[in-house]
């Protein structure tokens, strides 16, 4: 059953020029408000069937000024995104056209929607749960096919179904425990009840732990792998960035120190989303601007999930190279020997000793030799060649991860409590805590403040 709200409106398309702009209206008065500004002879939108689209014009009722020529889509509750009456006015794309239509809609009874309010209403009206609502934003922000696929599966309710099944299992066990305590049929009821609790706690904990094991994969697919391209000036870092991006993103010259600031962009490598960070060459310099860039490069190195450490194989290792090898010892890294089309002047024994377990890849940015091998190594380093896209329950949301960790801890407390001989009624408290934590993922047990905070992160028209 839906909750009654006032009628809201907002622009649902990005700002700027485009083929169309969409003004979305949702609420009990959506059709009446649209009728006040819609004109096409004596035609009334309130008389039309649901899920139909109609040509017409938008006028300002006060001045009868023609605003725009439009197509209006009518969708009646409950078969809509918000489970309310929804009207979408398709205007000509452009800042002025879509804004003027929105203004006249607001002047005739609608209220400007808050960020994420359409999706919030979908949640509050029971069309989607909280994890599905968060998946909406993941779909919008997805930067690769696999991130998109993961978000769509969560939006489709795969995670919700699993969480609800776990909660149902816990609730069934708690109910059985209550029955055993209130109506004991056997003398050893305490032992039987304890065994029932510990078995279910271990079963649910195993599933939760398995979900948490996928969290690193899911987070990478969702947010991208922060990948810093590090090396001395003029070893080919910016050229490597351009090759991976397949565009001339960074300026490339033979002058050392050309890159003076951090350059970032996203790219999908073998299904792994990388947030590539091309850094200024790390070296001592008297140039004030370059020095700032070098400092930012050091910061990028500290924050990177993966380091692509680039050397020029046509030059012997320098002291700066040795410092970089030492500085990246604790990072996931791939060592790249660039300019393989030139003579190798590196001491390979020294380099291999310093590299340890880090893979060493030879490349030529000029001929693009070795790039496929590099991309395969990136995928293999984090996913052993598999990105887990077939796993319908990859966890990527930090809030979900935290709640699963809390649930796992509560279930561990159940197991420890039973094994140490704690009374069943005390152990039940920990089992109930796990049930509550899981419920917060789907929104079945969540505070209003959290709901408000989550939806405030959405864009205005979603």
Which tokens hold the place of 188?
A: 């050893």
Cβ-count burial 352-372 (b if 16+ within 10 Å, e if not):
eebbeebbebbbbbeeeebbe
pLDDT of residue 426: 86
pLDDT at 249 over 60: no
Higher pLDDT, residue 445 or 7: 7
pLDDT of residue 268: 77
Higher pLDDT, residue 220 or 122: 122
User: Which among 260-264, 291-295, 421-425 has the top mean pLDDT?
Assistant: 421-425
Q: Convert the pLDDT of each residue in 167-220 to its tens digit.
A: 999 998 888 877 766 655 555 556 778 888 899 999 999 999 988 887 777 777
**Cα dihedral 105, 108, 112, 113 in deg (nearest 10):** -80
- 336 torsion bin: left (phi>0), alpha (psi -120 to 50), beta (else): beta
pLDDT of residue 341: 87
Confidence of residue 262 (pLDDT cuts 50, 70, 90): low
Strands, E assignment, 212-271: 225-231, 263-269
Q: What is the mean pLDDT of residues 326-336?
A: 86
Confidence of residue 122 (pLDDT cuts 50, 70, 90): very high
Confidence of residue 388 (pLDDT cuts 50, 70, 90): very low
Higher pLDDT, residue 453 or 165: 165
Which tokens hold the place of 237?
A: 């870092």
DSSP string, 28-88: TTHHHHHHHHEEBTB--GGGSPSSEEEEEEEEETTTTEEEEEEEEEEE-TTSSSSSS-EEE
CB atoms within 10 A of CB 453: 10
Asked whether 67 and 21 are in contact (CB, 8 A), the reply is no
8/24 Cα distance (integer angstroms): 8
Q: What is the mean pLDDT of residues 304-330?
A: 86
**Start-end of H helices in 224-265:** 237-245
Q: Convert the pLDDT of each residue in 12-56 to its tens digit.
A: 998 888 889 999 999 999 999 999 999 998 899 999 999 999 999
Confidence of residue 259 (pLDDT cuts 50, 70, 90): very low
pLDDT at 58 over 60: yes
Q: Convert the pLDDT of each residue in 59-103 to its tens digit.
A: 999 999 999 999 999 999 999 999 999 999 999 988 899 999 999
Domains within the chain, CATH numbers bracketed = 8-127 (3.30.1360.120), 135-214+395-443 (1.20.120.430), 225-383 (3.40.50.300)
Min mean pLDDT across 190-204, 232-246, 254-268, 368-382 is at: 254-268
pLDDT of residue 386: 45
Rounded (10°) angle between helices 398-419 and 424-442: 170
Cβ-count burial 172-203 (b if 16+ within 10 Å, e if not):
ebbeebeebeeeeeeeeeeebbbebbbebbee
Q: Convert the pLDDT of each residue in 399-445 to its tens digit.
A: 899 999 999 999 999 999 989 988 888 888 999 999 999 999 998 87
pLDDT at 288 over 90: no
User: Which among 90-94, 140-144, 265-269, 456-460 has the top mean pLDDT?
Assistant: 90-94
Which tokens hold the place of 299?
A: 């910061």
Asked whether 414 and 431 are in contact (CB, 8 A), the reply is yes
pLDDT at 385 over 50: no
pLDDT at 338 over 70: yes
- List phi, psi (to 5°) of 360: -115, 120
Provide the whole-model pTM.
0.69
29/48 Cα distance (integer angstroms): 15
SS3 assignment, position 264:
strand
- List phi, psi (to 5°) of 356: 65, -125
Q: Collect all residues with Cβ–Cβ distance below 8 Å to 454 and sequence separation of at least 6.
A: 116, 130, 133, 134, 399
Higher pLDDT, residue 27 or 272: 27
Residue with tokens 């979305």: 24
pLDDT at 373 over 70: yes
pLDDT of residue 395: 81
pLDDT at 392 over 50: no
260/237 Cα distance (integer angstroms): 12
Q: Please, which residues bridge with residue 273 across strands?
A: 268
Which tokens hold the place of 427?
A: 């152990």
CA angle 21, 26, 32 (to 5 degrees): 95
Q: Convert the pLDDT of each residue in 135-158 to its tens digit.
A: 888 887 777 677 777 788 888 888
């Amino acid at each position: 059953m839906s909750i009654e709200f006032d009628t809201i409106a907002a622009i649902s398309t990005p700002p700027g020029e485009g083929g169309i702009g969409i003004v979305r209206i949702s609420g009990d008065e959506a059709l009446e408000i649209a009728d006040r500004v819609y004109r096409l002879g004596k035609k009334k939108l309130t008389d039309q069937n649901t899920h139909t689209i109609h040509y017409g014009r938008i006028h300002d009722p006060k001045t009868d000024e023609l605003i725009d020529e439009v197509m209006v889509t009518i969708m009646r509750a409950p078969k809509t995104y918000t489970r309310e009456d929804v009207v979408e006015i398709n205007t000509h794309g452009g800042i002025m056209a879509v804004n003027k239509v929105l203004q006249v809609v607001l002047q005739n009874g609608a209220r400007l929607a808050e960020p994420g309010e359409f999706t919030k209403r979908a949640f509050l009206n029971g069309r989607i749960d909280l994890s599905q609502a968060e998946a909406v934003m993941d779909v919008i922000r997805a930067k690769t096919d696999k991130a998109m696929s993961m978000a769509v599966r969560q939006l489709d309710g795969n995670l919700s179904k699993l969480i609800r099944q776990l909660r149902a299992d816990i609730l069934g066990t708690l109910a059985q425990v209550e029955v055993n305590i209130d109506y004991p049929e056997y003398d050893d009821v305490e032992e039987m009840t304890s065994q029932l609790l510990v078995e279910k706690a271990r079963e649910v904990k195993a599933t939760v732990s398995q979900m948490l094991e996928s969290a690193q994969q899911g987070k990478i697919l969702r947010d991208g792998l922060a990948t810093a391209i590090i090396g001395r000036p003029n070893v080919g870092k910016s050229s490597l960035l351009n090759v991976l991006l397949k565009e001339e993103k960074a300026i490339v010259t033979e002058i050392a120190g050309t890159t003076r600031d951090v350059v970032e962009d996203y790219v999908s490598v073998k299904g792994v989303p990388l947030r590539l960070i091309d850094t200024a060459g790390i070296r001592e310099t008297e140039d004030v601007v370059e020095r700032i860039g070098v400092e930012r490069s050091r910061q990028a190195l500290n924050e990177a999930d993966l380091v692509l450490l680039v050397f020029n194989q046509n030059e012997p290792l320098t002291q700066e190279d040795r410092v970089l090898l030492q500085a990246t010892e604790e990072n996931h890294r791939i060592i790249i020997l660039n300019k393989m089309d030139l003579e190798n002047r590196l001491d390979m024994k020294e380099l291999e000793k310093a590299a340890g377990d880090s893979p060493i890849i030879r490349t030529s940015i000029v001929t693009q030799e070795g790039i496929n091998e590099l991309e395969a190594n990136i995928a293999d380093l984090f996913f052993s060649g598999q990105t887990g896209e077939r796993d319908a329950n990859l966890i990527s949301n930090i809030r979900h991860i935290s709640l699963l960790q809390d649930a796992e801890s509560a279930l561990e407390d159940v197991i420890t409590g039973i094994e140490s001989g704690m009374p069943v009624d005390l152990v039940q408290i920990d089992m109930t805590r796990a049930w509550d934590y899981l419920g917060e993922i789907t929104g079945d047990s969540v505070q209003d403040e959290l709901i408000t905070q989550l939806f405030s992160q959405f864009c205005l028209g979603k």
